[in-house]
Amino acid sequence: MNRDQVEGNWKQFKGKVREQWGKLTDDQLDKIEGRREQLAGQIQEAYGTSKEETEKQIKEFERRTDCKWH
- Mark 11-44 as b/e (b = at least 16 C-beta within 10 Å): eebbeebeeebeebeeebbeebebebeebbbbbe
Distance CA 59, CA 69 (A): 10
For the beta carbon of residue 64, count every other beta carbon within 10 angstroms: 10
Is pTM beyond 0.85? Reply is no
pLDDT digits (tens, 9 = 90+) for 4-20: 666 667 777 888 999 99
3-65: in CATH 1.10.510.10: no
Torsion of CA 70, 14, 63, 43, to 10 degrees: 80
Per residue in 18-61, pLDDT (tens digit) is 999 999 999 999 888 888 999 999 999 999 999 999 999 999 99
